[in-house]
Amino acid sequence: MAPEQEIFDVSGPLHLLNSFDWRNIYHRRSIAASLVHGVYILEKDRQRRSFGHEHDTHAPPWWERFHFNLNHVLVDDIDLSYFGAIYELKYAHPYAPKYVIAFRGTIKRFQTLYQDMKLNFKFVYGHPAESPRFHKAFDAVLNTVTMAGAANIWLAGHSLGASIAMLAGRKMAKCQFHLETYLFNPPFNSVPIENLIKNQTLKHVVRVSGSLMKAGIATAMKGRSEDPEEDPFIMLSEWIPYVFVNPSDPICAEYIGYFQHRDKMVDIGMGRVERIAAKDSIVSLGSRAIGRESEPLHLLPTAYLTVNRSLSKGVKKAHKIHQWWQQDFEGSSKLYRF
Protein backbone atom coordinates (compact mmCIF):
# COMPACT_ATOMS: atom_id res chain seq x y z
CA MET A 1 0.00 0.00 0.00
CA ALA A 2 1.48 3.33 -1.07
CA PRO A 3 1.63 6.25 1.39
CA GLU A 4 -1.08 8.90 1.03
CA GLN A 5 1.44 11.46 -0.23
CA GLU A 6 1.98 9.35 -3.34
CA ILE A 7 -1.71 9.21 -4.26
CA PHE A 8 -2.90 12.17 -6.32
CA ASP A 9 -6.55 11.95 -5.27
CA VAL A 10 -5.49 12.22 -1.63
CA SER A 11 -2.54 14.63 -1.66
CA GLY A 12 -2.49 16.30 -5.07
CA PRO A 13 -3.67 19.82 -6.04
CA LEU A 14 -7.26 18.72 -6.65
CA HIS A 15 -8.53 22.28 -6.25
CA LEU A 16 -6.87 23.23 -9.55
CA LEU A 17 -8.30 20.52 -11.77
CA ASN A 18 -11.33 22.43 -13.04
CA SER A 19 -10.10 25.99 -12.70
CA PHE A 20 -6.39 26.33 -13.34
CA ASP A 21 -5.21 29.34 -15.28
CA TRP A 22 -1.87 29.19 -17.12
CA ARG A 23 -1.40 32.93 -16.52
CA ASN A 24 -1.61 32.51 -12.75
CA ILE A 25 1.87 32.06 -11.22
CA TYR A 26 0.45 30.09 -8.27
CA HIS A 27 -1.19 27.66 -10.70
CA ARG A 28 1.96 27.41 -12.81
CA ARG A 29 4.05 26.72 -9.71
CA SER A 30 1.60 24.07 -8.48
CA ILE A 31 1.56 22.26 -11.82
CA ALA A 32 5.37 22.34 -12.07
CA ALA A 33 5.62 20.90 -8.55
CA SER A 34 3.07 18.21 -9.38
CA LEU A 35 5.08 17.14 -12.43
CA VAL A 36 8.27 16.96 -10.36
CA HIS A 37 6.46 14.85 -7.79
CA GLY A 38 5.39 12.60 -10.63
CA VAL A 39 9.08 11.73 -11.20
CA TYR A 40 9.42 10.69 -7.55
CA ILE A 41 6.41 8.42 -7.88
CA LEU A 42 7.65 7.02 -11.19
CA GLU A 43 10.78 5.80 -9.43
CA LYS A 44 8.86 4.46 -6.43
CA ASP A 45 6.51 2.60 -8.79
CA ARG A 46 9.58 1.11 -10.50
CA GLN A 47 10.92 -0.07 -7.17
CA ARG A 48 7.57 -1.64 -6.28
CA ARG A 49 7.53 -3.49 -9.59
CA SER A 50 10.99 -4.87 -8.82
CA PHE A 51 9.43 -6.51 -5.75
CA GLY A 52 6.57 -8.00 -7.75
CA HIS A 53 3.90 -5.36 -7.15
CA GLU A 54 3.06 -4.97 -10.84
CA HIS A 55 -0.32 -3.29 -10.32
CA ASP A 56 0.66 -0.88 -7.55
CA THR A 57 1.14 2.15 -9.84
CA HIS A 58 0.39 5.71 -8.73
CA ALA A 59 2.46 8.02 -10.93
CA PRO A 60 0.29 8.78 -14.04
CA PRO A 61 -2.35 11.00 -12.37
CA TRP A 62 0.36 13.47 -11.33
CA TRP A 63 0.73 14.53 -14.97
CA GLU A 64 -2.39 13.19 -16.71
CA ARG A 65 -4.76 15.29 -14.57
CA PHE A 66 -3.11 18.38 -16.06
CA HIS A 67 -3.29 17.03 -19.62
CA PHE A 68 0.33 16.01 -20.05
CA ASN A 69 1.70 12.86 -21.64
CA LEU A 70 4.84 11.17 -20.39
CA ASN A 71 7.09 11.64 -23.40
CA HIS A 72 10.35 10.18 -22.08
CA VAL A 73 11.86 8.89 -18.83
CA LEU A 74 15.48 9.68 -17.90
CA VAL A 75 17.24 6.65 -16.44
CA ASP A 76 20.47 6.60 -14.44
CA ASP A 77 22.93 4.35 -16.28
CA ILE A 78 24.37 2.89 -13.07
CA ASP A 79 21.48 2.11 -10.70
CA LEU A 80 18.79 2.22 -13.44
CA SER A 81 16.65 4.56 -11.36
CA TYR A 82 14.29 7.08 -12.91
CA PHE A 83 15.62 10.55 -12.08
CA GLY A 84 13.82 12.73 -14.61
CA ALA A 85 11.01 12.91 -17.11
CA ILE A 86 9.99 14.87 -20.19
CA TYR A 87 6.29 15.69 -20.26
CA GLU A 88 4.42 16.92 -23.33
CA LEU A 89 1.23 18.98 -23.12
CA LYS A 90 -1.61 17.44 -25.10
CA TYR A 91 -2.91 20.75 -26.44
CA ALA A 92 -1.50 24.12 -27.48
CA HIS A 93 -1.96 27.16 -25.23
CA PRO A 94 -0.26 30.57 -25.58
CA TYR A 95 0.74 30.69 -21.90
CA ALA A 96 1.55 27.01 -21.39
CA PRO A 97 4.73 25.06 -22.08
CA LYS A 98 4.83 22.46 -24.82
CA TYR A 99 7.31 20.40 -22.79
CA VAL A 100 8.28 20.27 -19.13
CA ILE A 101 11.55 18.57 -18.16
CA ALA A 102 11.40 17.65 -14.47
CA PHE A 103 13.94 16.15 -12.05
CA ARG A 104 13.37 14.50 -8.70
CA GLY A 105 15.49 14.89 -5.60
CA THR A 106 17.10 12.31 -3.35
CA ILE A 107 15.11 9.20 -2.47
CA LYS A 108 16.36 7.68 0.77
CA ARG A 109 16.03 4.04 -0.23
CA PHE A 110 18.85 1.59 -0.79
CA GLN A 111 18.06 1.29 -4.54
CA THR A 112 18.78 4.98 -5.14
CA LEU A 113 20.56 6.49 -2.14
CA TYR A 114 24.16 5.83 -3.18
CA GLN A 115 23.92 7.39 -6.66
CA ASP A 116 21.78 10.27 -5.39
CA MET A 117 24.21 11.12 -2.60
CA LYS A 118 27.21 10.82 -4.91
CA LEU A 119 25.70 13.49 -7.18
CA ASN A 120 24.82 15.62 -4.15
CA PHE A 121 28.50 15.65 -3.16
CA LYS A 122 29.52 16.61 -6.68
CA PHE A 123 27.26 19.64 -6.47
CA VAL A 124 28.66 20.58 -3.06
CA TYR A 125 32.22 20.54 -4.38
CA GLY A 126 31.37 22.24 -7.67
CA HIS A 127 31.88 19.45 -10.20
CA PRO A 128 28.46 17.92 -11.03
CA ALA A 129 29.07 18.18 -14.78
CA GLU A 130 31.38 15.18 -14.38
CA SER A 131 28.37 13.01 -13.52
CA PRO A 132 26.89 10.73 -16.21
CA ARG A 133 23.46 11.50 -14.78
CA PHE A 134 23.89 15.22 -15.39
CA HIS A 135 25.25 14.56 -18.90
CA LYS A 136 22.08 12.63 -19.70
CA ALA A 137 19.91 15.36 -18.17
CA PHE A 138 21.59 18.14 -20.12
CA ASP A 139 21.45 16.18 -23.38
CA ALA A 140 17.70 15.82 -22.86
CA VAL A 141 17.34 19.56 -22.28
CA LEU A 142 19.51 20.49 -25.26
CA ASN A 143 17.73 18.09 -27.61
CA THR A 144 14.31 19.32 -26.54
CA VAL A 145 15.31 22.96 -26.96
CA THR A 146 16.71 22.17 -30.41
CA MET A 147 13.47 20.45 -31.37
CA ALA A 148 10.86 22.77 -29.84
CA GLY A 149 12.55 26.09 -29.03
CA ALA A 150 13.44 27.56 -25.64
CA ALA A 151 10.17 29.51 -25.34
CA ASN A 152 8.18 26.25 -25.30
CA ILE A 153 10.06 24.51 -22.49
CA TRP A 154 10.02 24.60 -18.71
CA LEU A 155 12.63 23.15 -16.39
CA ALA A 156 11.61 22.05 -12.91
CA GLY A 157 13.23 20.22 -10.03
CA HIS A 158 13.15 19.66 -6.29
CA SER A 159 16.17 19.50 -3.96
CA LEU A 160 18.87 17.56 -5.85
CA GLY A 161 16.61 17.79 -8.90
CA ALA A 162 16.53 21.57 -8.49
CA SER A 163 20.34 21.57 -8.59
CA ILE A 164 20.23 19.59 -11.85
CA ALA A 165 17.63 21.95 -13.34
CA MET A 166 19.59 24.98 -12.16
CA LEU A 167 22.84 23.82 -13.73
CA ALA A 168 21.10 22.89 -16.99
CA GLY A 169 19.37 26.29 -17.02
CA ARG A 170 22.68 28.06 -16.37
CA LYS A 171 24.40 26.27 -19.25
CA MET A 172 21.54 27.10 -21.60
CA ALA A 173 21.45 30.74 -20.45
CA LYS A 174 25.13 31.13 -21.33
CA CYS A 175 24.09 30.16 -24.87
CA GLN A 176 21.35 32.83 -24.77
CA PHE A 177 18.53 30.31 -24.26
CA HIS A 178 16.58 31.48 -21.21
CA LEU A 179 14.31 28.64 -20.11
CA GLU A 180 11.45 29.19 -17.68
CA THR A 181 12.70 27.36 -14.60
CA TYR A 182 11.06 26.30 -11.31
CA LEU A 183 13.48 25.44 -8.50
CA PHE A 184 11.87 23.95 -5.40
CA ASN A 185 14.00 23.86 -2.20
CA PRO A 186 17.29 24.12 -4.12
CA PRO A 187 20.36 23.37 -1.93
CA PHE A 188 22.48 26.36 -0.97
CA ASN A 189 26.04 25.13 -0.49
CA SER A 190 26.99 27.16 2.55
CA VAL A 191 26.62 27.27 6.31
CA PRO A 192 22.87 27.90 6.95
CA ILE A 193 23.29 31.22 8.75
CA GLU A 194 19.60 31.95 8.20
CA ASN A 195 18.72 29.04 10.51
CA LEU A 196 21.67 28.99 12.91
CA ILE A 197 21.74 32.66 13.95
CA LYS A 198 18.51 34.20 15.21
CA ASN A 199 19.85 37.60 16.28
CA GLN A 200 19.43 39.87 13.24
CA THR A 201 22.32 42.20 14.13
CA LEU A 202 24.75 39.33 14.62
CA LYS A 203 23.52 37.71 11.41
CA HIS A 204 24.20 40.95 9.52
CA VAL A 205 27.69 41.28 11.01
CA VAL A 206 28.56 37.70 10.06
CA ARG A 207 27.37 38.21 6.49
CA VAL A 208 29.19 41.52 6.06
CA SER A 209 32.38 39.91 7.40
CA GLY A 210 31.95 37.03 4.97
CA SER A 211 31.49 39.41 2.05
CA LEU A 212 34.59 41.39 2.98
CA MET A 213 36.61 38.19 3.25
CA LYS A 214 35.41 36.77 -0.07
CA ALA A 215 35.86 40.06 -1.89
CA GLY A 216 39.37 40.42 -0.48
CA ILE A 217 40.39 36.91 -1.48
CA ALA A 218 38.85 37.20 -4.96
CA THR A 219 40.56 40.56 -5.54
CA ALA A 220 43.92 39.24 -4.34
CA MET A 221 43.68 36.21 -6.60
CA LYS A 222 42.68 38.36 -9.59
CA GLY A 223 41.16 35.29 -11.19
CA ARG A 224 38.03 36.88 -12.53
CA SER A 225 37.91 38.88 -15.74
CA GLU A 226 37.00 42.56 -15.55
CA ASP A 227 35.21 42.29 -18.90
CA PRO A 228 31.45 41.92 -18.12
CA GLU A 229 30.92 40.06 -21.39
CA GLU A 230 33.27 37.32 -20.16
CA ASP A 231 32.05 37.19 -16.55
CA PRO A 232 29.98 33.98 -16.22
CA PHE A 233 27.95 35.46 -13.38
CA ILE A 234 26.94 38.56 -15.33
CA MET A 235 26.25 36.44 -18.42
CA LEU A 236 23.45 34.77 -16.44
CA SER A 237 21.77 37.97 -15.31
CA GLU A 238 19.05 37.89 -18.00
CA TRP A 239 17.91 34.42 -16.94
CA ILE A 240 15.28 34.71 -14.20
CA PRO A 241 14.47 31.36 -12.55
CA TYR A 242 11.70 31.00 -9.98
CA VAL A 243 13.22 29.92 -6.66
CA PHE A 244 10.98 28.53 -3.91
CA VAL A 245 12.33 28.23 -0.37
CA ASN A 246 11.13 27.60 3.15
CA PRO A 247 12.85 29.48 6.02
CA SER A 248 12.58 26.36 8.20
CA ASP A 249 14.48 24.25 5.68
CA PRO A 250 18.24 24.47 6.32
CA ILE A 251 18.97 23.04 2.87
CA CYS A 252 17.59 26.07 1.01
CA ALA A 253 16.87 28.81 3.58
CA GLU A 254 20.19 30.59 3.02
CA TYR A 255 18.89 31.83 -0.35
CA ILE A 256 16.76 34.24 1.69
CA GLY A 257 19.82 35.71 3.38
CA TYR A 258 21.89 35.66 0.20
CA PHE A 259 19.48 37.85 -1.74
CA GLN A 260 18.46 40.12 1.14
CA HIS A 261 22.09 40.68 2.09
CA ARG A 262 22.91 41.88 -1.43
CA ASP A 263 20.29 44.62 -1.07
CA LYS A 264 21.48 45.55 2.42
CA MET A 265 25.08 45.91 1.24
CA VAL A 266 23.91 48.44 -1.34
CA ASP A 267 21.92 50.28 1.34
CA ILE A 268 24.98 50.67 3.59
CA GLY A 269 27.22 51.82 0.74
CA MET A 270 29.10 48.54 0.23
CA GLY A 271 27.55 47.58 -3.08
CA ARG A 272 30.92 47.45 -4.88
CA VAL A 273 32.23 44.96 -2.32
CA GLU A 274 29.14 42.80 -2.70
CA ARG A 275 29.37 42.84 -6.51
CA ILE A 276 32.61 40.92 -6.06
CA ALA A 277 31.61 38.79 -3.06
CA ALA A 278 28.21 37.68 -4.41
CA LYS A 279 29.82 35.83 -7.32
CA ASP A 280 31.90 33.43 -5.23
CA SER A 281 31.64 30.88 -2.45
CA ILE A 282 34.37 29.77 -0.07
CA VAL A 283 34.48 26.41 -1.87
CA SER A 284 34.92 28.00 -5.32
CA LEU A 285 37.64 30.31 -4.02
CA GLY A 286 39.40 27.37 -2.39
CA SER A 287 39.29 25.37 -5.61
CA ARG A 288 40.72 28.25 -7.58
CA ALA A 289 43.49 28.63 -5.00
CA ILE A 290 44.71 25.10 -5.81
CA GLY A 291 44.47 25.68 -9.53
CA ARG A 292 41.13 24.01 -10.22
CA GLU A 293 38.62 26.41 -11.73
CA SER A 294 35.27 26.06 -9.96
CA GLU A 295 32.12 28.06 -10.57
CA PRO A 296 29.73 28.37 -7.58
CA LEU A 297 26.78 26.70 -9.28
CA HIS A 298 24.22 27.54 -6.59
CA LEU A 299 24.70 31.32 -6.77
CA LEU A 300 22.29 33.24 -8.98
CA PRO A 301 22.53 36.84 -10.18
CA THR A 302 18.78 37.14 -10.74
CA ALA A 303 15.75 35.28 -9.42
CA TYR A 304 12.11 35.52 -8.43
CA LEU A 305 12.38 34.36 -4.83
CA THR A 306 9.23 32.99 -3.18
CA VAL A 307 9.37 32.32 0.56
CA ASN A 308 6.82 30.04 2.18
CA ARG A 309 5.59 31.90 5.27
CA SER A 310 3.11 29.17 6.25
CA LEU A 311 3.87 27.34 9.48
CA SER A 312 5.96 24.23 8.82
CA LYS A 313 5.89 21.43 11.39
CA GLY A 314 9.50 20.31 11.40
CA VAL A 315 12.45 20.39 9.02
CA LYS A 316 11.28 17.34 7.07
CA LYS A 317 7.96 18.93 6.09
CA ALA A 318 9.69 22.23 5.36
CA HIS A 319 11.68 20.42 2.65
CA LYS A 320 8.77 18.50 1.11
CA ILE A 321 7.53 19.46 -2.33
CA HIS A 322 3.86 19.15 -1.31
CA GLN A 323 3.93 22.59 0.33
CA TRP A 324 4.15 24.30 -3.06
CA TRP A 325 0.63 23.41 -4.18
CA GLN A 326 -1.23 23.74 -0.86
CA GLN A 327 -4.44 25.75 -1.10
CA ASP A 328 -3.77 27.59 2.18
CA PHE A 329 -0.25 28.63 1.11
CA GLU A 330 0.98 31.93 2.54
CA GLY A 331 4.13 33.43 1.10
CA SER A 332 5.95 36.44 -0.26
CA SER A 333 7.72 36.93 -3.58
CA LYS A 334 10.31 39.41 -4.78
CA LEU A 335 12.42 39.86 -7.89
CA TYR A 336 16.14 40.22 -7.13
CA ARG A 337 18.54 41.50 -9.79
CA PHE A 338 22.31 41.69 -9.66
Nearest-angstrom CA–CA distance, 178 and 70? 23
How far apart, in Å, are the Cα atoms of 8 and each of 5, 106, 237, 306, 334?
A: 8, 20, 37, 24, 30
pLDDT band at 226 (very low <50, low <70, confident <90, very high): low
- Count the helices and strands in the chain (H runs, E runs): 13, 8
Assign domain 4-192+230-268+297-336 to a CATH class.
Answer: alpha beta
Examine the pLDDT at 53 and tell me if it is beyond 70. no
How far apart, in Å, are the Cα atoms of 68 and each of 31, 41, 188, 189?
A: 10, 16, 31, 34
- Domain spans of the chain, in order of start: 4-192+230-268+297-336
Is the model more confident about 268 or about 224? 268
Is the model more confident about 36 or about 112? 36
pLDDT digits (tens, 9 = 90+) for 11-34: 999 999 988 899 999 999 999 999
How many Cα atoms sit within 13 Å of 242 on the Cβ side? Answer: 22
Nearest-angstrom CA–CA distance, 15 and 299? 34
Q: Which residues pair with 192 in a beta bridge?
A: none
Nearest-angstrom CA–CA distance, 338 and 332? 20
In the chain, the percentage of residues whose pLDDT exceeds 70 is 94
pLDDT of residue 60: 97
Nearest-angstrom CA–CA distance, 81 and 95? 32
pLDDT band at 229 (very low <50, low <70, confident <90, very high): low
